[in-house]
Amino acid sequence: MRSNLEVSFDRAGAMRVGDGRDRKPFPPPGPAAPPLIATKRVLGGLFRFESNSRDLIGLVEAAYGRLPPQTLPGVAAEFRVGLRLLPRRATPWTIEPPAPRIRQHGNRFRADVDASNYVVIDPDRRFAQIVASEDMLQHAYHLRCELIEFAVFILATCAIGLVPLHGACVGRNGRGVLLLGGSGSGKSTLALHGLLQGLELLAEDAVFVRPADLLAFGVPNYLHLKGDALDFIADDAIRDWVVHAPVIRRRSGVRKFEVDLREGYGRPANPALALVGAGCVSAQPAASPDALLIPLAACEAGPLLEADQFHASRQPGWQPFKRQILDRGIHQLRRGRHPRDSIDALCRLLD
């Protein structure tokens, strides 16, 4: 005999048994939850971040929260950045996610970690879409820097017309000096001692310059320090500030303390600095305290600048930036017995 009973499950997952005559259709789904929103003024633009995830909005706050709002005179650029969280990937990474593969098609950019983690950037529409999986949240440093901050940097660079530089920038009273040099040259250590000697920090690793007037912007959120930076810190409170910071691992394998400048002893610059010159950080020790800062002739400084800023030298605005920074002066900054000696020499450019 054939049974007329039916087995079904309600929306809570409970099993129901019946003949189907009392079955009622499930109610239509309710309206989608409104997106979470964070609005930040960064690098001269107004950025509106929209997400379905509190964790992703939390990374936006980690990058840009509690920073002085940065506005650019005469510019009213607005951008929208979507952040979408996906479920975990089926196959976990062995150690960490691979480095993003960056591609450019016309004026659009794309950076792919894998099929579940990527960013698409359209500067013409002033829009970026970031997609990340739940397991990428376990690698928050890479997600924040390589997807979220990358999108903001590209949008600001292309749409506002800023020249992106790999370097640090410190200053005071609205005037700033660039610190140039390759990774490991000591820019972050000098930036730390500049802070400890009363200077403001505009940026530790990425500086964005308007070529027309050399007005520089940055994101003074974190300072990344290797353990040997502690060799020149005698104050126990400052040492504690550094050693209790989280440790991140760069793609090179180098581990660094990620010190939050919004806590403790930091003085983020507010909101931009007018560049008065640049110092190329050298590992060469100075022969005397008077030989820490050596002016470079334009014929020597120009090729050095091009080699140090390979990516920036291919950007629109590079030539007017180069002419102006050469006019203001580029110096070689040699090592003193203590980093504060080099900071003292740099301060002469700011006077």
- What pLDDT is attached to residue 218? 95
Average pLDDT, the chain: 89
Helix/strand/coil for 267: coil
**pLDDT surpassing 90 at residue 111:** yes
List, for residues 141-185, the tens digit of each pLDDT value. 999 999 999 999 999 999 999 999 999 999 999 999 999 998 888
Residue that has been written with the tokens 């400048």 in this structure: 261
List, for residues 39-98, the tens digit of each pLDDT value. 999 999 999 999 999 999 999 999 999 998 888 777 889 999 999 999 998 888 988 999
List, for residues 273-328, the tens digit of each pLDDT value. 999 999 999 988 898 888 999 999 999 999 999 999 999 999 999 999 999 999 99
CA distances from 177 to 125, 170, 255 (A): 33, 6, 27
Q: pLDDT band for position 30 (50/70/90)?
A: low
- pLDDT mean over 205-216: 94
- What pLDDT is attached to residue 66? 92
Closest CA to 142 of 236, 22, 62, 261: 62
Q: How far apart are CA 46 and CA 156, in angstroms?
A: 10
List, for residues 219-242, the tens digit of each pLDDT value. 999 999 999 999 999 999 999 999
> Is the distance from CB of 248 to CB of 96 less than 8 angstroms?
no
> Is the distance from CB of 100 to CB of 146 less than 8 angstroms?
yes
List, for residues 116-133, the tens digit of each pLDDT value. 999 999 999 999 999 999
Helix/strand/coil for 144: helix
- What pLDDT is attached to residue 271? 80
